[in-house]
Amino acid sequence: MDDLYRDYILDHYKRPRNFGALEPHDLEAHEHNPLCGDELAVHIRVRDDRIEDLRFQGHGCAISQASASIASEELKGMKLQQVGALSADWMLELLGIPVSATRRKCALLNLKVVRGAVTGDAAWPS
């Protein structure tokens, strides 16, 4: 068993949850990972200050795609205020694999995009 490419990571990579476009949507954001040219876009539908539904699309490595897929399941139903406060550690713990410094941006690209869509602040999560 590989430390990084665990079964559930590969499962989310090959069969991403909540993948595609969401129409209509209230919020959206789109980002490139400048390191590798990977792309990720997110559509979010809001109801009563919560994420009612979301979809992501793009292309990237197993780490970035699995991060987006795993996070999508947690983000549904979350209060917008809570989403804005999510940290890098939240995402890394959710992933549950040892991410090296060079792959950190792969793991955090999705959270950067989601937070950008919700708060307008597209900074890398710390």
Nearer to other proteins, 61 or 88 (CB): 61
Nearer to other proteins, 1 or 123 (CB): 1
Nearer to other proteins, 69 or 83 (CB): 69
Q: From the CB of 26, what's the least distance to other proteins, in Å?
A: 28
Residue 25 to residues 18, 22, 75, 117: CA-CA distances in angstroms? 14, 6, 15, 11
Cβ contact 56:110 at 8 Å: yes
Q: From the CB of 54, what's the least distance to other proteins, in Å?
A: 23
Q: From the CB of 94, what's the least distance to other proteins, in Å?
A: 19
Residue 14, H or E segment: helix 7-14
Q: From the CB of 38, what's the least distance to other proteins, in Å?
A: 7
Contacts of 79 (CB under 8 A, 6+ apart): 49, 50
Separation between Cα atoms, residue 79 and residue 60, nearest integer Å: 28
List contacts with other proteins (CB under 8 A).
Answer: 2, 4-5, 10, 35-39, 59-63, 65, 103, 106
Separation between Cα atoms, residue 64 and residue 110, nearest integer Å: 7
Nearer to other proteins, 31 or 38 (CB): 38
